[in-house]
Amino acid sequence: MYTDAANVSERQLQPPALAISTVIFALRPSATSGRPTLWLPLVRRIRQPHLGKWALPGGPLAQVESLQDAASRNLRETTGLVPNYLEQLYAFGALDRAASQRLVSIVYWALVQPDEAALTRESENVRWFRADRLEDLAFDHNAIVDYALWRLRSKMEYGSIAYHFLGETFTLAQVREVYEAVLDRHLDPANFRRQLRVTPDITATDDYLQGVRHRPPRLYRYTGTAGTFGAQASPASATTSVD
C-alpha cells in the first residue's frame, strides 16, 4: 500500500533504538522467615524518562559487540556481577515502550549463586528486591520480570536449572528450598527427597554439612552438563504439594 510521506511523522521515520536489559535471579533469605526467596537487583534511573524509578540493569547496544557481550558488559558496569549462567530471554518492542522513539530491548536473564550475588555493588542506586514484591518499575519492566518468572518456573520442569542457584555441593533440603522459592509453594519433604534420589546426575559425596545442631546431612553434587536442560523429570512434578 502506498503511503504519503508527508503523513508519516518524524518519529515513525526514525530507526528503532536497540537496548540490552537483564533480569538477574538469586536466592536470598527472607527478612521474616529466613527461608530462601527469589530476589533480583534493580538500578535507579538517574535521567528522564522515568527519573528516579527502579529499572532492570541495561543500556544501549554498542555497534561493535555481540548481544551476549553487551549484556555481560552492562552487568559488570552496573552491578559488578559476572554470572556463569546468562541466556537470551526475549525481545520486547511494543510501539508505546518509549515516548520519543521506538525502543526495542533484547532481554537476557541470569541465575546466580549466593556467593556470586554477594559480590553485587549495592549503593543508593543499585539494590536487591524481592521478585514477588516489586513496585511500579520504569518502562514495561514489571511485565518483563513477570515473563522471566513464568519462563523460570516453566524451566523448573527440567531438573538441571535448579543447580544454577546452588554451590558445587548441596544438601537435598537445599535443592527443595530452591524449588519452593521459585515455584512459591511448599513441597512435601519426604516425597521430594525420594524423587530426587533417583534423579539422574545427582551424586552423593562422602562429605556432610557441618555446623548444624542435628545430624549433619549428606552433601550431593550435580554431575550433568552445566547450562543445558536435560529431559529428566523435575522432582517437583512428581511431588505432592502441601499448601
pLDDT tens readout for residues 177-226: 999 999 999 999 999 999 888 888 899 999 999 988 888 999 999 998 76
- CA distances from residue 70 to 41, 66, 203 in whole angstroms, order as listed: 18, 6, 36
C-alpha cell at 154: 516453566
What span, in angstroms and rounded, lies between the C-alpha atoms of 69 and 75? 10
Give the HSE-up count for residue 191: Cα atoms under 13 Å, Cβ half-sphere.
12
In this predicted structure, the answer to whether residue 63 has a pLDDT above a threshold of 90 is: no
**Higher pLDDT among residues 225 and 76, named by residue:** 76
Map out the domains of the chain as residue ranges.
Answer: 10-154, 159-238
Quote the pLDDT of residue 241: 42
Quote the pLDDT of residue 240: 44
Quote the pLDDT of residue 189: 94
Nearest to 129 by CA among 21, 30, 19, 22: 30
Give the HSE-up count for residue 68: Cα atoms under 13 Å, Cβ half-sphere.
7
Query: pTM of the entire structure?
Result: 0.85
Q: Which CATH number fits domain 159-238: 1.20.120.1230, 3.30.950.10, 1.10.10.10, 3.40.50.150?
A: 1.10.10.10
Quote the pLDDT of residue 231: 41
Quote the pLDDT of residue 44: 97
Mean pLDDT for the chain overall: 85
In this predicted structure, the answer to whether residue 55 has a pLDDT above a threshold of 90 is: yes
Which CATH code is given to the segment(s) 10-154? 3.90.79.10
Average pLDDT over residues 11-27: 84
Quote the pLDDT of residue 137: 97
Q: Could you tell me the pLDDT band of residue 237, with boundaries at 50, 70 and 90?
A: low
Q: Kindly report the CA angle at 213 between 212 and 216, in degrees rounded to 5? A: 50
What does the pLDDT look like over 126-160, one tens digit per residue? 999 999 899 999 999 999 999 999 999 998 876 68
Q: Could you tell me the pLDDT band of residue 64, with boundaries at 50, 70 and 90?
A: confident
Quote the pLDDT of residue 204: 94
Quote the pLDDT of residue 242: 40
What span, in angstroms and rounded, lies between the C-alpha atoms of 67 and 73? 10
- CA distances from residue 89 to 22, 109, 134 in whole angstroms, order as listed: 9, 6, 20
E strands, the chain, are 17-29, 36-44, 54-55, 58-60, 85-92, 103-111, 126-130, 169-170, 202-208, 218-222
